[in-house]
Structure 1
Amino acid sequence: MIDAHVHADTRPYEDFEKMAVAGVEKAVSCAHDPLRMSTSDVVLDHINRILKNDTKRAAENGLKLYAAVGIHPRSISKDWETVLNELPYFLEKENVVAVGEIGLETTSNIEKEVFKKQLQLADNMNMKVVVHTPRQNKYEVARVTSSILEEMINPSLVQLDHVDNSIVDMAVEHDWNLGLTVQPLKVTPDEAVSMLKEYGVDRFVLDSDMSSSPSDPLSVPKTVHKMKLAGFEDSEIKKVSHSNAAEFYGI
């Protein structure tokens, strides 16, 4: 199994063992806002931690950790252009598979500017992007996000994440990978199974988005278990729990 979106820096050492024991072999840790991201130095230190410390902690427990790096919409420092200028260096690292997590939180002008600059960079480098959708005003923000994605980047490079019942109808109209975030207060395993029954498995990936918010590092295995109980074919389960993410990220 692959957990297609986590925040490993916020999790204890033991969580990686739990994931590996439950059958999660790989995960992608995305940049986010674990601190008050007040300066570019803080953001860059955060990225460096993902690439060094967290990769090592996961490997010691049998979990292969990849990274997505970028400027989260809640991590826009006053000197964010310094981070943007450094991103190509990080994106060339061996275990970096995407620009992310990027996107919009409130649709402010600065968020839109930073989002577009990173999409342009990803498109120029033919890099995948992991795109955030927020908890608040999710549908309205996702519509603005969608219009920017349509304008800026090849849809084959996009994973729209944190898809739930409020935006899935809109999301499936586009040729993006779609991240089903199975996390307390977002989507339950049963809700994920219901969406997969309705919309199919071809473009969805499962992720826990485990972070400092209420989280379950075993949400991907638990959803796989629910899919088995619901009568999904093994090939369908493999698509959403492994193959779709493996193909998208090239892992």
Structure 2
Amino acid sequence: MIDSHIHADTRPYEDFEKMAVAGVELAITCAHDPFRMTTSDVVFDHWHRILNNDIKRAAENGLKLYAAIGIHPRSISKDFKRALEALPSWLKNDCIVAIGEIGLEKASDSEKEIFKRQLQLAEDLKMKVVVHTPRTNKKDVSKVTASIIEETIDPALVIIDHVDKTIVDDVIELDSMLGITVQPQKMTPDEAVSLIAEYGFEKFTIDSDISSSPSDSLSVPKTVHKMKLAGFEEKYIKKVSHDNAAMFFGI
């Protein structure tokens, strides 16, 4: 199994062992908003921890951890241009498989500018992108997000995450991968199984988004278990819990 979106820096050491014991072999940790990003130096410290601390912590517990880094819409420092200018050099790290988590939270002008600039960088580098969709005003903001993606980057380079029934119809036609986030207060394993049963297996990956918010480090294995109980064929379960993510990220 692959958990294609976690925030490893906010999780205790023991969670990596739990995931490995439950059958999660690979995971991707994304940059997010663990601190108040007062300056770009805080952003750099965040990226540094992901690449130099959390990958090591996961490996010690038998979990292969890859990374995505970027400027999250809730992590915009006043001197964000400095972080944007430095990002290409950080992306040369072999552990990085995508730019992310990036996107829009409130669809402000500054968020749109930073989102577009990071998408353009990904397009130039032909690099994959993990795109955030918010909990608040999700449908309206996600429509703006989808429009910017279509205008700026090859959608095939993008995974749109935290997709649920409120926005799936707005993004399903894009040539993008779609992440189903199974997380307390966001989506249950049963709801994820229902969404997959309705829309199919080709475009979806399951992830946990485990973070400092209410989370479950075993949400991907639990969803796989629910799919087995629902009678889905093993090859289709493997597509949404491993194959689609492995193909998209090249891992």
Stretches of structure 2 that go unaligned for 5 or more consecutive residues are none
Provide runs of 4+ in structure 1 moved above 6 Å. Answer: none
Kindly provide the CA deviation profile for residues 14-56 of structure 1, in whole angstroms up to 9, marking residues without a partner as x.
0000000000001000000001011000001100100010000
Q: Does 1:72 align with 2:62?
A: no
Tell me by how many angstroms 1:145 deviates: 0.3
Q: Does 1:94 align with 2:87?
A: no
Q: What is the distance in 1 between the residues matched to 2:67 and 2:38?
A: 22
SS in 2 for 1:175: coil
Q: What is the distance in 1 between the residues matched to 2:165 and 2:187?
A: 8
Q: Does 1:177 align with 2:149?
A: no
| Aligned residues between the structures | 251
Tell me by how many angstroms 1:91 deviates: 1.1
| Superposition map of 1:15-94 within 5 A | 15-94=15-94
Q: What is the distance in 2 between the residues matched to 1:89 and 1:54?
A: 20
Tell me by how many angstroms 1:173 deviates: 1.6
SS in 2 for 1:163: coil
Tell me by how many angstroms 1:147 deviates: 0.5
| Superposition map of 1:1-251 within 5 A | 1-251=1-251
Percent identity between the aligned chains? 70
Q: What is the distance in 1 between the residues matched to 2:2 and 2:16?
A: 13
Stretches of structure 1 that go unaligned for 5 or more consecutive residues are none
Q: What is the distance in 1 between the residues matched to 2:41 and 2:95?
A: 22
Q: What is the distance in 1 between the residues matched to 2:101 and 2:125?
A: 16
SS in 2 for 1:149: helix
SS in 1 for 2:170: helix
AA aligned to 2:80 is: W
SS in 2 for 1:162: coil
Q: What is the distance in 2 between the residues matched to 1:171 and 1:230?
A: 26
Q: What is the distance in 2 between the residues matched to 1:31 and 1:169?
A: 27
AA aligned to 2:236 is: E
Tell me by how many angstroms 1:175 deviates: 1.1
AA aligned to 2:190 is: D
Q: What is the distance in 1 between the residues matched to 2:175 and 2:186?
A: 23
Q: What is the distance in 1 between the residues matched to 2:53 and 2:148?
A: 34
Tell me by how many angstroms 1:90 deviates: 1.4
Tell me by how many angstroms 1:123 deviates: 0.3
